[in-house]
Amino acid sequence: MNDHSADSRHRTSESGLPLHPVYRESDLPHDLTARLGEPGSFPYTRGVYPTMYTTRPWTMRQYAGFGTAAESNARYHQLLGAGTHGLSVAFDLPTQMGYDSDAPIAHGEVGKVGVAIDSIEDMRQLFHGIPLDKVSTSMTINAPAAVLLLLYQLVAEEQGVAADQLNGTIQNDILKEYIARGTYIFPPKPSLRLVADTFAYCRAEIPRWNTISISGYHMAEAGATPAQEVAFTLANGAAYVRAAIDAGLAVDDFAPRLSFFFVARTTLLEEVAKFRAARRLWARLMRDEFGAKDPKSMMLRFHTQTAGVQLTAQQPEVNMIRVAVQALGAVLGGTQSLHTNSYDEAIALPTEKSARLALRTQQVIAHETDLTGTVDPFAGSYAVEALTDGVEEAATALMARVDEFGGAVAAIEAGFQKREIETSAYRISQEIDSGSRIVVGVNRYALDEEEPYEPLRVDPAIEAAQAARLAELRRSRDSAAVERSLAALRSAAAGTDNVLPPMREALRQRATVGEVCDALRAEWGVYRPADAF
């Protein structure tokens, strides 16, 4: 490395890497060409496809879902009409935790942070008038991911759409829930079995579906640095690969359908470097550790969402600039799809106008800039290449520490990742409080009085309406058929059969999300973290 001792000031990146005022060729490795490769070729530093955006832009998704299925359906039609390429479904907390809207534990949370889905009737209404063979749908759901995917398949079947025509993604990443988010249901071992069962089911039934979106986003929102985000995400990915192989699947039979989910922060240069380093690390991991032969198994394909944690309730219009910068980082880093947050999300659910503006941000980047004219515009940049190497080295060191515990699951049980992220989050909080980290409108350039803002709010009557729908569902269905199908699901869960076929039949008989999850709880139990009271 070049001597930077004459630098007039010392700054570090989010991952703690040194940021030099000037980078030079001597800061780069001598084998830079080999480390870069060509776009679409191993180790995919420059992108997973040879042409990237020069022939077509990334998929523009908008994450949406609130209140009832009917309300969310109306928003989806608005987004599709505004030019979005794919839908991304947000579910409320009861749905994420596998509870029906009329469960006592769901009180006060129905429809609040996403749409309430209790049964096939809600899923049918959610996608009313939306041809499921024409759209790509991403569902941010984890512990009950298989349940929601099967409901989607059943609704498509009602539309006359064959399962092999469906295209989309379920998040299905349970390990990060134990690390950073908390919407888990079952203990890690049966949870990994459910993930592996989903891989096998989709390979046979829904071959174009991305069966998991291994997420660093939520760890970043909890305070992870870019290096931690990459390291812990890829370590989780390795755990899923091992679980699938242990379940009897060949690596090249499922690995091409793995996808990832990362954040894009305002620290644009390091974010670009992060994405490039992550591709290189995953390619080598899949080839060298797991023996993958199919190039698609080595490609780290990922969705990006701009950083919600960096949005502020103070001067919310400033978030428009933050989101634009974050989106640029994602595009320059080679994302396959992108969600841009609405500027008012730090206050409440986005309005129709703010959601449309978030989409327009992507459209301006795609159509009014020259970023789609060339692949990997920052390739060869002294600064970005040095940061790419730095993030890769830091992430590799963290992944080695995870391996010392015996892998991601053992490290989770020991609390390693959670402690590392909490330490980082505490440091960031201290820096904001001290003013050494400037947040515009919060600890610098604040206003004496904020302008009034009228947010979109969820009607509390939704909870009662969902309860009434459930009561009618239970009254009108064939209860004996439901009980038989749930018993078959419990039997499969107690044994070794794939649980998705009997789960699908239970849902077809109009069993609810909560009833299906209760059947699995009865056999598998629920997870209690070691530090829980």
Q: Are 201 and 169 within 8 A, CB to CB?
A: no
Point out the domain boundary residue: 377, 399, 434: 434
Indicate whether 92 belongs to any domain: yes
> CB-side exposure of 421: number of CA atoms within 13 Å?
26
pLDDT score of 440: 96
Indicate whether 195 belongs to any domain: yes
> What amino acid occupies position 56?
R
Low-confidence ranges of the chain (pLDDT < 70): 1-10, 455-457, 531-533
pLDDT score of 34: 79
Q: Are residues 268 and 354 in the same domain?
A: yes
Q: Are residues 348 and 488 in the same domain?
A: no
Q: Are residues 407 and 495 in the same domain?
A: no
Q: Are residues 374 and 495 in the same domain?
A: no
pLDDT score of 158: 97
pLDDT score of 1: 42
Indicate whether 447 belongs to any domain: no
Indicate whether 106 belongs to any domain: yes
Indicate whether 467 belongs to any domain: no
Instruction: Quote the tokens at residue 260.
Output: 């990832």
Indicate whether 45 belongs to any domain: no
pLDDT score of 531: 63
Q: Rounded to 5 degrees, what are φ and ψ at 138?
A: -110, 135
DSSP label at 464? H
pLDDT score of 533: 38
pLDDT score of 444: 95
What is the enclosing helix (H) or strand (E) of 61? strand 59-64
Point out the domain boundary residue: 376, 399, 434: 434
CATH, residue 361: 3.20.20.240
> What amino acid occupies position 234?
L
Nearest to 504 by CA among 87, 6, 156, 23: 156
Q: Are residues 298 and 241 in the same domain?
A: yes
What SS3 state is found at 63? strand
> What amino acid occupies position 68?
T
Q: Are 342 and 358 within 8 A, CB to CB?
A: yes
Residue 25 CA to residue 7 CA, distance in Å, equals 17
Write down the pTM of the prediction.
Answer: 0.91
How wide is the angle at C-alpha 51 spanned by C-alphas 236 and 339, nearest 5°?
50
CA of residue 357 relative to chain centroid, distance? 22
How wide is the angle at C-alpha 431 spanned by C-alphas 426 and 432, nearest 5°?
100
E-assigned strands of 335-460?
A: 337-339
Per DSSP, the residues of 70-116 read HHHHHHHHHHHHHT-SEEEEEB-HHHHTT--TTSGGGTTTTTSSSB-
Indicate whether 188 belongs to any domain: yes
Point out the domain boundary residue: 434, 459, 489: 434
DSSP label at 210? E
Residue 450 CA to residue 452 CA, distance in Å, equals 6
The total number of structural domains in the chain stands at: 2
Q: Rounded to 5 degrees, what are φ and ψ at 158?
A: -65, -30
Q: Are residues 93 and 233 in the same domain?
A: yes
pLDDT score of 214: 96
Q: Are residues 312 and 374 in the same domain?
A: yes
Q: Are residues 61 and 137 in the same domain?
A: yes
pLDDT score of 6: 40
Q: Quick: pLDDT tens for 148-191.
A: 999 999 999 999 999 999 999 999 999 999 999 899 999 999 99
Nearest to 346 by CA among 383, 320, 374: 320
Work out the burial of residue 40: count CB atoms within 10 Å of its CB; fewer than 13 is exposed, 13-18 middle, 19 or more buried.
middle
Residue 456 CA to residue 345 CA, distance in Å, equals 10
Q: Are residues 56 and 182 in the same domain?
A: yes
Q: In terms of DSSP bridges, do strands 136-140 and 337-339 run parallel, antiparallel, or are they unpaired?
A: unpaired
Q: Are residues 424 and 487 in the same domain?
A: no
Q: At what angle do helices 319-332 and 268-284 cross, to 10 degrees?
A: 30
Domain coverage including residue 495: 480-524
Cite the DSSP H helix spans in 435-530: 461-476, 479-494, 500-508, 513-524
Q: Quick: pLDDT tens for 83-136.
A: 887 888 999 999 999 999 999 999 999 998 899 999 999 999 999 999 999 999
Q: Are residues 387 and 511 in the same domain?
A: no
Instruction: Quote the tokens at residue 148.
Output: 């929601």
Indicate whether 497 belongs to any domain: yes
Q: Are residues 386 and 494 in the same domain?
A: no
